[in-house]
Structure 1
């Protein structure tokens, strides 16, 4: 008998579990019943506004992860993962996952000395690999230099007041030294690619990101604070000639916390995640391959909830392709018949009995999946008995 082909594509369970972890625990429940020989599984965690946009994108396109060694915000070597999709023509980089300052680095003692040079090194790697599109899932890399390190790694030159090249810019506290920027020797392939930076709505629109105190700066000296803000303002003014008109004054470019200046200089197109999801996270292609079963999931399975509706919409799409769907739900609201009518063939509750609340959500999801899979296994056994 050929192995079952199972597609696992859940949303998250609110703050308890993000969609990638829900997918992991659904897989655990499946494996309690079906071995690797008896079931092939593909996991595609859905982006529901929480969790990682980039992880969902890479999984949706069945992408490949590659590791690159670069410098972290403290010029220490680290390995970072980049996803490659669309026949390796598109690179996907999640800044939050790529590098988080390690606790022993004492990041908060003086974050003004941190650098984004490593991000530039990652961009050089994917440019040299021949990618024609780069998608950056924006997050806190840990650098506070406005993206100056990115530009230097890509070949930009910084000049002082006398026209001398500044070979190193060690963080925001040295930005005040930059009087001019030359892009003459910038990586030549930058002009041939599309660079998209996906951000949260707050990063795109909230004025609170345009000023204020950055994390950890309360531990810096008065001299460090003065150099930081002076340097940030000067760097913004010096690079303004390279920025698109629509970038001027946007919080992501102006933010003291962000790398938006450097990314804006190299022509980044800044997009809200919710808007970018409509272009990049199309699920229709999931059903180009034949599946015997899809397992989705949502904390609340109802068409009245945007996240619950996402799971139901995918179930409808699966039904259109002749694929049965099981839903793992933390809560089911409304008329159950409506849920069946919207594409779900069966569902299992992840909250059963008075003892369930004492278990972790992860165990509840795995247990609910196991119960469903035992029913599937019984049905397959009965079918074999009939045919035999």
Structure 2
């Protein structure tokens, strides 16, 4: 019997690999001879570095970089040595969670640290990059990141513009003189699940600026500055297209990657499924197991477990999912390839108790054991349920 697990992290409770190993433990209680292949799963957001690095025999790296407020932060990222790939979450260097509520102001927050992380990975031999760009605190159009990589964003006096969106107000010239030579050898897969353009009513300033601390007047100003920045970039870089879907992601970081580097914006789950070669494992499986911390109607709209289910159904596989809690409209997941899902809580406890790592792993293993016993006792088809 061959079972493949690909479970998203139960955020704040279990990592992707911990969840998969807990399922394997439960299954092996019922069937010591079962082959359980634990594969990592993430959607390109929080948890992607941990999932891909630990699940693909990579190593964790730590580097001190410039945080969104211009002060030092420690950013952790992963390197998968076999393919020379760096796995980075931009939020680790420029995320909104790094900025206290009272200091949130996109006029001053910078992506410079993101560029420093990329530079560190390049120095360590990486030429392939997987970068999740969700959760940013910034609206600088990615200029900070590009400055760290050697691009010049200069004011009328030839000085580098200041950090933050305010720097775009005085931007006059873009130069390439000091760009890292190795950058032209690098390829970037950017996990981006938003379709906003750089400017306009659906641009990053209008849609995401307020949650980063922007006032209505700031939104208007930043949108104009970004428009001018895009026009200036377009004179020198033919790929510049501020209307392209995703250019507004992470305060314009999507635009920076597409314009100044060899990058593609893709669905985060698509990147993860391809990089982990999950389809190859599923093709030979008898049963596929997935899940996440809470399954609800949002899960059914294309989150990581649905991506797994879609692959499994290409080969007619039964798909079982485990979840910490089933929310509103969770049954819609059944319409998208998940044959049955099972909450793992086994008695009435507080949320804090339920989310303790040891409790969550035990509950998942115990539930997986009983569900597997039922599946094995039947025909292994959805009719069991």
- TM superposition score normalised by structure 2: 0.67
Which residue is equivalent to 2:86? 91
Cα deviation, residue 10, structure 1: 2.3
Change (3 A) 1:369 1:203: farther
1:209-255, CA deviations, whole angstroms, 9 ceiling, x for partnerless residues?
35526125776595x56653443222221112344447442143356
- 2:44, 2:271 within 8 Å by CA — same for their partners in 1? no
Q: Is the 8 A contact 1:160 1:177 kept in 2?
A: yes
* Residue 1 of structure 2 corresponds to residue 9 of structure 1: no
- Is the 2:279–2:311 contact (alpha carbons within 8 Å) kept by the matching residues of 1? no
For the Cα contact (< 8 Å) 1:61–1:86, is it kept in 2? no
CA distance in 2 between counterparts of 1:257 and 1:58 reads 27
Query: Cα 1:313–1:279, aligned 2, differ >3 Å: closer, same or farther?
Result: closer
| Structure 1 residue 179 displacement after superposition | 1.0
Distance change (3 Å), C-alpha of 1:63 and 1:316? farther
Q: Which residue of the partner structure matches residue 365 of structure 2?
A: 369
The RMSD of aligned alpha carbons is: 5.1
Gaps (5+ residues) in structure 1? 1-5, 320-324, 334-341, 377-388
Tell me which structure has the larger Cα radius of gyration: 1
Change (3 A) 1:30 1:348: farther
Instruction: Provide the rounded CA distance (Å) in 2 between the counterparts of 1:233 and 1:183.
Output: 21
Instruction: Give 3-state SS (helix, strand or coil) of 1:46's partner.
Output: coil
Aligned length: 347
Report deviation, 1:297: 4.7
Give, in whole Å, the separation in 1 of the partners of 2:192 and 2:127.
21
User: Which residue in the other structure is 2:113 paired with?
Assistant: 118
Q: Are residues 167 and 279 of structure 1, via their aligned partners in 2, closer, same or farther at CA, if it must alter by over 3 Å?
A: same
- Aligned counterpart, 2:68: 73
> Deviation at 1:202?
3.0
SS at match of 1:195: strand
1:203 to 1:136, Cα distance in 2 relative to 1, 3 A: farther
Q: Deviations over 1:172-230 (max 9, x none)?
A: 112121111111210100111112212004347997235526125776595x5665344
1:251–1:154: structure 2 CA closer, same or farther, 3 Å change rule?
same
Corresponding residue number in structure 2 for 1:232: 226
Pick one of 275, 278, 284 that aligns with 1:280: 275
3-state SS of 2:251 partner: coil
* Structure-2 change in CA distance of 1:10 and 1:171 (3 Å): closer
> CA, structure 1 residues 367+348, in 2 after alignment: closer, same or farther (shift >3 Å)?
farther
Shift of 1:80: 0.6
